[in-house]
Structure 1
Amino acid sequence: MKTEWTPETEANGDADIGDPGTQGTQGPRDPGTQGPRDPGTQGPRDPGTQGPRDPGTQGPRDPGTQGPRDPGTQGPRDPGTQGPRDPGGGTLKEIGVGEIMGKSGEKLDVKEEEEGKEETDKRKSGLSYGLAAFFMVAQMAGAGFLSLPKAVANASWGGAFMIFFFCVSVAFSASRLGMCWSILEERWEEYRKPARQPYMEIASRALGVHGRRITLFSVLFTQIGSTIVFIILIAGFMNNFVPSLSQCLWSLIVAAVLLPIVFLGSPKDFWQASVLAVLSTVVAIIVIDVEMLIQSAKFLAANPVHTIPTISTFSLGFGAILFSYGGSSVFPTIQNDMKDRREFWKSVIISFSTIFILYFPVGVIGYILLGDSVKDNILLSIGSSTILTVAVSLQIINLAGTFIISLNPCLQAIEDIIGIPTNFCWQRIVVRTSVILFELLVVLAVPDFGLILNLIGGSTMSCMSFILPPIMYMKLVADKSDKTWPERSIPLWQRAYLWLILVMGIIGGISATVSAVMAIAQPSAFKKSCFVNFYGTTPNSTTT
């Protein structure tokens, strides 16, 4: 126990002379004639009778011969029993914890070191840029390519051009989205750690509270809508294999099978799904292309018709093609799980180059050979064979893997809003089960994937891919509110291209959304509902 200095304690030799607070005004002992005092037998000298040390006769203590006090044997001064040190030396609060060696300071340093080590370990176990590219391809190449021939037919040769132009534009937009996150890390330290809602955080910093809300709605609508499409497609494919069970019943089965997988945490917890999805997609597209070429003579003999598109059909083609490149809402989440987030641009180049190589042939070949008669799902237009059965099986695997990757950011956003722990818990089970049940209700109400696909592609996917990224990037770069931030600027050609993407997204998105809503409102769409005919045949079956 430390004892404050008094005349009585000096007489008894009880004062704790190791405490710097009791000797802040004490002059020096003569180092040439006297060794160190014995703290066990001698109290401090009277500060009232002795002035400060003469700086002219004695320099400071030699740091090479005397280290700091041992933090293991003596803690910091008790502020409750001892006043501040001499103003010339500063109080404990004034000089800071980092300058005083004590038990509490030691614990603080250990805690910071452990947090830093934990963050480093997380980055070491993150995704490489190659694996991140796999995730991006898996996200985009889900159901989109199945509708590409129909999308090109709706827009005629303008659709073929859109496949290329959208690939370049969405890739550039995605790279700017990655730059947005780099800016956040650069300016605010809290973003250097993993985030549950990276897209929303970007929107919040760039567009404020209202921008964050708009983005949140777009992410939820896009990801939930996309995964609804996947359930419909998988159920339709399974109905083809086992036609004795209706597609509506298969929808229930598919949702039940996918539910346990949905409980996984973040993309890095199920990276195998992305690899499996990409491989199955590549093989399926190759099989479809080869099968169409094999049957080309038969298709051309039917004299396929290629009509001039109307504004309505062109808009539907716009939405469907943009849907095939949909993934921007997930890209920040994938980037957030990377070892080095600065390498995200490499993932963008690899993933979009791969997607274009896969998409362009299937869209153009299907349109040339089948013309306007091509169906929403290309697999419904090319007949039935053993090789197509393989393609369908691979596509089921692809859709299941993409379902998990696509829905995960949406689930993380909902859990973050509610305040659910990041570790596996019963609250996660309740929330994610509720989301799947909601999707199932929509699937049963509108079991036509083409209608939902066009609506999502034209509305929120247009917003997430073409509208929000350019706005957020330009806003963040233009923000000069803190003079300590590194200087950033946008080259003129980039700014012009960003404005082109933005205007095209607004005009095309509005027209595509209106056309999709009008198609869903048709009386024929309601007749397909499972609530009207649960055991009936639906148009998404691959039976021919």
Structure 2
Amino acid sequence: MDMYTSATPPSVCFLSNSFLTSAHKRPQAGVLDDSSQLNEPFISSPSLNKDEVPTSYLPVEKLYATSQQTRFAANELPPPQQKCSYAQSVLNAMNVLCGIGLLSVPYALKQGGWWSLVILFVLCIITCYTGILLKRCLESSPALKTYPDIGQAAFGIPGRVLLAIILYIELYSSCVEYLIMMSDNLSALFPNAQINVAGFPFDSYQLCTIISTLVILPTVWLRDLSLLSYISVGGVFITLLVSLCLLWVGVVDKVGFHPSGTALDLAKLPVAIGLFSFCYGSHSVFPNIYSSMKEPSRFPSVIIISFLTSGFLYAAVAICGFLMFGQSTKSQFTLNMPTKFVASKVAAWTTVIAPVTKYAMTITPVALSVEELLPPLQFKSHCTSMLVRTILVFSTLVVALTVPYFGSVMAFIGSLLVMLVAVIFPCACYLSICRNKLTKLEIWVCIVIMHVGLICAIIGTYSAITSMADEKA
């Protein structure tokens, strides 16, 4: 996990991927800037000695030395040679925050009603605060570089393993979202595409999903992902382009804005919360942004500016999209945009092409974690690596065909995984690492945020799964 959350591209100081931009992801992740790093395992092979003191009982200053002797120690990358300026750091943070969640905010507003916009900004404030908490955790020891490091400092090896598992699941889920997003937009562009193979009919969505998978597959086989990382670096540009296309269709192409909707829909509010929370799930990359800054002390202002900017952008797109399409708003607003307009085609093709540059970098950490389980000789074999990655890609194809519900899958990721990574764990780690320095107010604020995150995670996850079941029925 450390390679995924600690690398920046050389010389440009710009992160590649939000859960998608991207998110991560959103997403969600940083760029793999050196192809040689792709051949290294995430988890080192030595195991704990029987008489070794658990790291959770060691002073945090000794954590780095101890972690090198553990099975779950980080394969730390050297710090970036070029530090990022303040402006570059703001762009980095905005790049990881402004991701594919943008496509679903009008749909989230439709689900939750107009008052749900308050939740969008409340989540913005909470996740901004938890991002600053991660910075305070990193300040507790120079040995802490990545999010898994923080988890180990707070809860020992189990904390590191749990965080890694959650982040791997989040990455895999994001790859499924990429396929669904590509397939939805391709099938909207070619609604009549279908084929019959050996008596098995494939409709437009199924055919486009298979084609998308075949297009993506060669990028996963690449050993050098640096080209893809530089192409996908323009997440902010892609976000602004799609947003401007939406505005263009509404104003210039005269689709118009038509007020509608309810004030608050409590029954569907949990789904809206999951969709909104997905937009802010980029915390795994924040430690990298912090460590890459020339002036790390200015990190809080970087986080505040990027969260406020992305929050207002999400709100503007949500309002604009919902006013344009009303109750017919789909899980991706690009699916509502009339295909006869040039701006609509630009937006649709942008959302089709963007995941091609991001899928390989997102699935690579998952593939390496699987390859680590193989015998050493097979682990070093390129053919074995290609086989593992091919199986993973086709497994995401199966999931995308089985659960082809972009909004519901995004709500599930936002409700369960993002709530854990962006809301609950930062507070828990902060309470554990800095417990002797906290005021009663800080302790209570963290406890309240954790409880709110836990409640939203439980209710939102249940609602997302129920929504998938309803759509499947």
TM-score by length of 2: 0.70
1:229 is aligned, of 177, 185, 188, to 177
In structure 2, what is the equivalent of residue 25 of structure 1? Answer: none
In structure 2, what is the equivalent of residue 157 of structure 1? Answer: 114
Matched, 1:462 2:409: no
Matched, 1:525 2:472: yes
Matched, 1:351 2:306: yes
Shift of 1:289: 2.4
1:240–1:153: structure 2 CA closer, same or farther, 3 Å change rule?
closer
1:419–1:208: structure 2 CA closer, same or farther, 3 Å change rule?
farther
1:390 is aligned, of 346, 350, 354, to 346
* Equivalence map 1:89-488=2 (5 Å): 122-125=79-82, 130-131=87-88, 133-185=90-142, 188=143, 191=144, 198-243=146-191, 244=193, 246-262=204-220, 271-294=229-252, 299-300=257-258, 304-306=260-262, 308-310=264-266, 312-332=267-287, 344-345=299-300, 347-384=302-339, 385-404=341-360, 406-411=362-367, 426=382, 428-478=385-435
Shift of 1:362: 0.7
Helix, strand or coil for the counterpart of 1:202? helix
1:443–1:184: structure 2 CA closer, same or farther, 3 Å change rule?
farther
Matched, 1:510 2:467: no
Shift of 1:461: 1.2
1:298–1:248: structure 2 CA closer, same or farther, 3 Å change rule?
same
Deviations 1:17-50 (A, max 9, x none): xxxxxxxxxxxxxxxxxxxxxxxxxxxxxxxxxx
Q: Matched residues in 1 for 2:338 and 2:109: separation?
A: 20
Alignment check: 8 A CA contact 1:333 1:409 kept: no
RMSD (Å), alpha carbons: 3.5
Partner letter of residue 171 of structure 1? C
Which stretch shows the higher mean deviation, 350-359 or 403-412? Answer: 403-412
1:146–1:176: structure 2 CA closer, same or farther, 3 Å change rule?
same
Q: Matched residues in 2 for 1:363 and 1:472: separation?
A: 33
Helix, strand or coil for the counterpart of 2:281? coil
Gaps spanning 5+ residues in structure 1: where? 1-118, 193-197, 480-488, 527-544
Alignment check: 8 A CA contact 2:181 2:351 kept: no
Partner letter of residue 502 of structure 1? M
Shift of 1:314: 0.5
Shift of 1:315: 0.4
Deviations 1:181-232 (A, max 9, x none): 34342xx4xx56xxxxx32232122123433333233212222112211111
The count of residues paired between Structure 1 and Structure 2 equals 385
Q: Matched residues in 2 for 1:262 and 1:341: separation?
A: 34
Helix, strand or coil for the counterpart of 2:260? coil
Shift of 1:513: 0.5
Shift of 1:326: 1.9
Partner letter of residue 354 of structure 1? T
Shift of 1:166: 1.6
Shift of 1:401: 4.0
1:521–1:399: structure 2 CA closer, same or farther, 3 Å change rule?
same
Deviations 1:462-499 (A, max 9, x none): 111111111111211126xxxxxxxxx23555444433
Which stretch shows the higher mean deviation, 215-224 or 329-338? Answer: 329-338
Partner letter of residue 360 of structure 1? A
Q: Matched residues in 1 for 2:450 and 2:464: separation?
A: 21
Shift of 1:503: 2.0
1:503–1:297: structure 2 CA closer, same or farther, 3 Å change rule?
same
Deviations 1:139-194 (A, max 9, x none): 33332111101111222223211222222221221222233234342xx4xx56xx
Q: Matched residues in 2 for 1:262 and 1:372: separation?
A: 39
Q: Matched residues in 2 for 1:298 and 1:177: separation?
A: 43
Q: Matched residues in 2 for 1:279 and 1:424: separation?
A: 38
Helix, strand or coil for the counterpart of 1:352? helix
Helix, strand or coil for the counterpart of 2:282? coil
Q: Matched residues in 2 for 1:201 and 1:281: separation?
A: 31
% identical aligned pairs: 23
Q: Matched residues in 2 for 1:294 and 1:132: separation?
A: 34
Shift of 1:437: 2.4
Q: Matched residues in 1 for 2:174 and 2:337: separation?
A: 25
